[in-house]
Amino acid sequence: MAAIKIKGHKDGPYEISGEMSGVELIDANGKVLPVKGTIHLCRCGGSRSKPFCDGTHAKAHFKSE
């Protein structure tokens, strides 16, 4: 079993779950972002909380395929 699981949600974000201790999430400006438990990363480009998903993909009718 993988220590970390990355799952793409249909028409939604990437979900990252599993053993997150030691995982670093660093934004484009070099800021280290908190990682606690399962996180969801935006892949529609519309989130106002990038890199995290804020649900905007649903309003934007984002299609992952």
The least distance separating ligand FES from the CB of residue 15, rounded to whole angstroms, comes to 10
Give 26 or 60: the residue with its C-beta nearer to ligand FES.
60
The least distance separating ligand FES from the CB of residue 12, rounded to whole angstroms, comes to 5
Name which of 41, 34, 38 is nearest 9 in CA terms.
Answer: 41
Interface residue list for ligand FES (CB under 6 A): 12-13, 42-44, 46-47, 53-57
Phi then psi for residue 57, to 5 deg, are -55, -35
Give 39 or 44: the residue with its C-beta nearer to ligand FES.
44
The alpha helices in the chain, defined as continuous H runs, are 56-59
Strand partners for 6 = 16
